[in-house]
């Protein structure tokens, strides 16, 4: 398979977990490189549902090594909970999970500050997952973060935590929020640190050795292109680089070791949280929610839904260098008579074929539509390209051409086998 970076090409929740699970069959190692437990990656094996937040989805295959890279922000208590949840479900974790020494920690004051800042913003809130992601990356950039290597060294962790809690309690008081108890946080985090210690290693050296022996590595992106801190719809974004470059900085694997970029996208568009979504549409939203679909895997919030936006996916091809695309949830469109695709934006007389940087312009963008006839046949049992309805193939070929990448994978259901490899 060679070294493959997998990214979300829309606003997150594209079905990355499912596609990672499929591709992991031919991977030796799966690496998470950014984000934290704001992610929720769903994998079905048979009828059993797994939702991964910090641990790479590759963990569900017993022979795959899984790495949480240096670019991830780790909530140690959340991670211990996730490990225990997997162990209870009979998943092999010991010996398969490796945690970077230099990944930064999410601490309780990050979560509290995330919530306080959202409250303060009122109707301008970002709609974060309230997992403390923004404040944790903020501390990393401000060089006041605490890392895994500190957590597993009790003599170093205690004074550094004390100083950080002292400062953050002043900030929390200014918000009118309750200060944190140093003793309690220390006890909880030390207990989690002891549990995580056996998994902690120098993952940069480990991945370098893997590259040298020719291992196939799959880089599991979290979130999606338009939630990227630099390339997304700022400030309605997350706080990491969700685009392909983040796989290199977040793992220490150099760009010239990467062989392929796979962009995962839904056959339509969704977004959870606030911010512009040019193709948002009530008809498709009602249809999908009515089928019990498109509720967030992490927060349970209803996702906003819209038609496929090829301006966005073409932009995603540009900033990620997407070679191959995986289109998921094709079966979600099975009942429609007509399917719309956005092929450009218009604001007054100005047309755009890329995402404008000015968010005030983006919110004014009116989609320019192309229409495709629906296939009105169930696709969930289809297992080959040839057996897909002709109209579904035409639709998929069209969105691939508009997105500027090669169509490589079509997904017609949440399970492993509900997948067509082209």
Report, as residue numbers or ranges, the catalytic residues: 13, 41
Quote the tokens at residue 149. Answer: 């290597």
13 contacts Mg ion (rule: CB under 5 A) = yes
Residue showing tokens 């997952």 = 129
Closest separation in Å from C-beta 411 to ligand GDP:
3
Q: Residue 295 carries which DSSP code?
A: B
Q: Which of 297, 355, 388, 409 binds Mg ion (CB under 5 A)?
A: 297
Residue 374 binding partner per list ligand IMO, Mg ion, ligand GDP, none, with a CB distance cut-off of 5 to 8 Å that depends on partner kind? none
Tally Cβ neighbours within 10 Å of residue 184: 10
Short-list 10, 32, 41, CA closest to 317:
10
Tally Cβ neighbours within 10 Å of residue 5: 30
Closest separation in Å from C-beta 235 to ligand IMO:
9
Q: Which residues contact 404 (CB under 8 A, 6 or more apart)?
A: 314, 317, 318, 322
How many residues touch Mg ion under the rule CB under 5 A: the total is: 3
Short-list 78, 198, 51, 50, CA closest to 136:
78
Closest separation in Å from C-beta 285 to ligand GDP:
15
Q: Which stretch binds ligand IMO (CB under 6 A): 69-77, 211-219, 220-228, 333-341?
A: 220-228
15 contacts ligand IMO (rule: CB under 6 A) = no
Q: Which stretch binds ligand IMO (CB under 6 A): 170-178, 183-191, 219-227, 372-380?
A: 219-227
Closest separation in Å from C-beta 237 to ligand IMO:
6
* Residue 210 CA: distances (Å) to CA of 23, 29, 65, 68, 258: 18, 9, 11, 15, 13
Phi/psi of residue 66, nearest 5 degrees: -125, 135
Tell me the C-alpha distance between 278 and 291, whole Å: 23
Q: Residue 222 carries which DSSP code?
A: -
138 contacts ligand IMO (rule: CB under 6 A) = no
Tell me the C-alpha distance between 341 and 260, whole Å: 27
Residue 329 binding partner per list ligand GDP, Mg ion, ligand IMO, none, with a CB distance cut-off of 5 to 8 Å that depends on partner kind? ligand GDP
Our CB check for ligand IMO shows the closer of 45 and 126 to be 126
Our CB check for Mg ion shows the closer of 234 and 295 to be 295
115 contacts ligand IMO (rule: CB under 6 A) = no
Instruction: Report how far apart the first and last C-alpha atoms of the chain are (Å, whole number).
Output: 15
Tell me the C-alpha distance between 273 and 30, whole Å: 28
Our CB check for ligand IMO shows the closer of 12 and 193 to be 12
CB 105 within 8 A of CB 182: no
Q: Which stretch binds ligand GDP (CB under 6 A): 61-69, 140-148, 153-161, 323-331?
A: 323-331
Closest separation in Å from C-beta 133 to ligand GDP:
15
Beta-bridged to residue 15, according to DSSP, are none
327 contacts ligand IMO (rule: CB under 6 A) = no
Tell me the C-alpha distance between 231 and 362, whole Å: 13
Closest separation in Å from C-beta 352 to ligand GDP:
26
Instruction: Evaluate the omega torsion of the peptide bond into residue 332 and state whether it is cis, within 30 degrees of 0.
Output: no
Q: Which of 58, 76, 78, 134 binds ligand IMO (CB under 6 A)?
A: 134
82 contacts ligand IMO (rule: CB under 6 A) = no
Our CB check for Mg ion shows the closer of 161 and 297 to be 297
40 contacts Mg ion (rule: CB under 5 A) = yes
Alpha helices in 122-277 (DSSP H): 133-141, 148-151, 154-174, 182-196, 203-212, 245-249
Tell me the C-alpha distance between 181 and 172, whole Å: 12
Q: Which of 32, 41, 53, 271 binds ligand GDP (CB under 6 A)?
A: 41
Binding stretches for ligand IMO (CB under 6 A): 8, 12-13, 38-41, 126-129, 131, 133-134, 222-224, 227, 238-239, 272-273, 297
Binding stretches for ligand GDP (CB under 6 A): 8, 12-18, 40-42, 44, 297, 328-329, 331-332, 411-414
Binding stretches for Mg ion (CB under 5 A): 13, 40, 297
């Amino acid at each position: 398979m060679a070294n493959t970076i997998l990214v979300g090409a829309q606003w997150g929740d594209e079905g990355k977990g499912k596609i990672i699970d499929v591709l992991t069959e031919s991977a030796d190692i799966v690496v998470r490189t950014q984000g934290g437990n704001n992610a929720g990656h769903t994998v079905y094996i048979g009828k059993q549902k797994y939702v991964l937040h910090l641990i790479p989805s590759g963990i569900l295959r017993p022979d795959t090594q899984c790495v949480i890279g240096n670019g991830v922000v780790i909530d140690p208590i959340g991670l211990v909970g996730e490990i225990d949840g997997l162990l209870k479900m009979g998943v092999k974790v010991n010996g398969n999970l490796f945690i970077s020494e230099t990944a930064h920690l999410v601490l309780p004051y990050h979560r509290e500050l995330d919530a306080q800042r959202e409250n303060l913003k009122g109707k301008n809130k970002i709609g974060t997952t309230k997992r403390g992601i923004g404040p944790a990356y903020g501390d990393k950039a401000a060089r006041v973060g605490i890392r895994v290597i500190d957590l597993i060294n009790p003599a170093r962790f205690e004074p550094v935590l004390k100083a950080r809690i002292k400062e953050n309690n002043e900030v929390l008081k200014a918000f009118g929020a309750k200060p944190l108890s140093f003793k309690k946080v220390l006890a909880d985090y030390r207990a989690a640190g002891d549990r995580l210690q056996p998994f902690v290693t120098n993952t940069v050296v480990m991945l370098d050795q893997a590259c040298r022996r020719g291992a196939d590595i799959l880089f599991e992106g979290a979130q999606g292109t338009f939630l990227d801190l630099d390339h997304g719809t700022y400030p309605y974004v997350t706080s990491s680089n969700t685009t392909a470059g983040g796989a290199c900085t977040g793992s220490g694997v150099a760009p010239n070791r990467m062989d392929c970029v796979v962009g995962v996208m839904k056959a339509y568009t969704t977004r959870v949280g606030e911010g512009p979504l040019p193709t948002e549409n009530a008809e498709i939203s009602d249809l999908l929610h009515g089928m019990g679909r498109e509720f967030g895997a992490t927060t349970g919030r209803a996702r906003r839904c819209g038609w496929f936006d090829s301006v966005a996916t073409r932009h995603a091809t540009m900033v990620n260098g997407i070679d191959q695309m995986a289109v998921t949830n094709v079966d979600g469109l099975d009942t429609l008579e007509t399917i719309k695709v956005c092929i450009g934006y218009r604001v007054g007389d100005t047309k755009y074929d890329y995402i404008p940087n000015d968010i005030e312009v983006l919110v004014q963008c009116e989609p320019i539509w192309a229409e495709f006839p629906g296939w009105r046949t169930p696709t969930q049992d289809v297992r080959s390209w040839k057996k897909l309805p002709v109209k579904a193939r035409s639709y998929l070929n069209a969105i691939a051409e508009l997105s500027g990448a090669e169509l490589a994978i079509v997904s017609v259901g949440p399970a492993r086998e509900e997948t067509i490899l082209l």
